[in-house]
Amino acid sequence: MRESRPEHWQRFWTEANRIELDEVYGTDGRMVREIVAIGECAGQRVLEVGAGSGRDAVALACAGAEVVTVDYVRGAFDLTVQAAAAVPAKVATVCGDGLCLPFGDESFDIVFHQGLLEHFRDPASLLRENVRVLRPGGHLVVDVPQTFHYYTLAKQILIRAGRWFAGWETQFTIGQLEQMVRDERLEVVHSYGDWMVPGLWYRGLRKALLTRTGCRLPMYPAPVPVVSRLAAAWRRRFGRTRAALSFTPTVGVVARKPSIA
């Protein structure tokens, strides 16, 4: 199966730059939500590995954090710079490899990435480097696709057909993700899942219509009362349980690096 290369991601982010990303993907901000829940952001030194669109980095900078993003393609940096300039906010962009970060040991209070770990054949090598640059008592936040979801089934079919946009990627159960961070001697503080409302099927349809026809469906369509009540009741009874983390499209872990005794 083909692997993603720097030129692939450069093309991806350059093409994404032609679309209003918020219109396509929405602004869920779950990474920001989890990081803000850790504690006061002001004055914290934060690293995002894999710059992506830069929206999370910019939001954290607006909350007072000193934010650095690292990526190995310029296309992602261009989006970050645009997002920061629109606010405005200060986000430092650094070109580098996630497996050999250009920072000294124990340089950051928080390290995070979303949609990155699954692209590595040896994910432990990425986590190990995350831990190296994390200060004692600091936090690592990792967000990945979850194994038991229709998104994963569709993705694997496309990968085998050679038509997946990222070439190759994997996925994880919440138990696997927790064990991986524990293997790097981190303490799991909190595990979470995200249901992505509206769902992935709607977002996929919306993106396809926007990119192919220019037709814009609303990102957050008006709720159907009966459906909304049933969904709310379901989330109250089941959605916040541990078992629910085997059904969400994405799962994540907030882990802490032990302080030096």
At 64-104, the pLDDT tens digits run 999 999 998 877 788 888 888 888 899 999 989 999 999 99
Distances (CA, A) of 102 to 67, 71, 122, 180: 15, 11, 20, 23
Instruction: Please give the mean pLDDT across all residues of the chain.
Output: 84
Q: How far apart are the first and last CA of the chain?
A: 46
The confidence score (pLDDT) of residue 92 equals 95
Coil, strand, or helix at residue 163? coil
- Look up residue 190 and give its two tokens: 């909190």
**What is the CATH number that goes with domain 6-256?**
3.40.50.150
Name 247's Cβ contacts closer than 8 Å, sequence gap at least 6: 146, 148, 149, 193
Helices within the chain (DSSP H only): 6-16, 21-25, 30-38, 55-62, 74-86, 123-132, 150-160, 174-183, 200-213, 225-234
In this prediction, residue 192 carries a pLDDT of 94
CA distance 24 to 198: 12
pLDDT, tens only, 3-56: 566 666 666 666 665 454 554 444 558 899 999 999 999 999 999 999 878 889
Task: Compute the radius of gyration of the chain from its Cα atoms.
Answer: 18
Per-residue confidence band for 144, with pLDDT thresholds at 50, 70 and 90: very high
Of the CA atoms within 13 Å of residue 211, those in its CB half-sphere come to 14
Those residues whose C-beta lies under 8 Å from the C-beta of residue 86, and which sit 6 or more positions away, are: none
Residues 167-202 pLDDT 10s: 788 999 999 999 999 999 999 999 999 877 666 666
pLDDT at 105: 97
**CA distances (Å), 182 to each of 64, 186, 253, 255, 257, in order?**
30, 5, 11, 8, 10
Ramachandran area for residue 43 (φ above 0: left; ψ -120 to 50: alpha; else beta): left
**Number of other residues whose CB lies within 10 A of the CB of residue 62:** 17
Give the lowest-confidence range in 6-10, 72-76, 111-115, 210-214.
6-10
pTM, 2 dp: 0.85
Cα dihedral sign, 93-98-101-102 = negative
- Contact between 34 and 141 (Cβ < 8 Å): yes
Cβ–Cβ under 8 Å, residues 37 and 15: no
The stretch 131-151 carries a mean pLDDT of 94
Structure tokens given for 98: 């996630």
- The pair of structure tokens assigned to 119 is 């692209």
Sign of the C-alpha dihedral computed for residues 250, 37, 90 and 110 taken in this order: negative
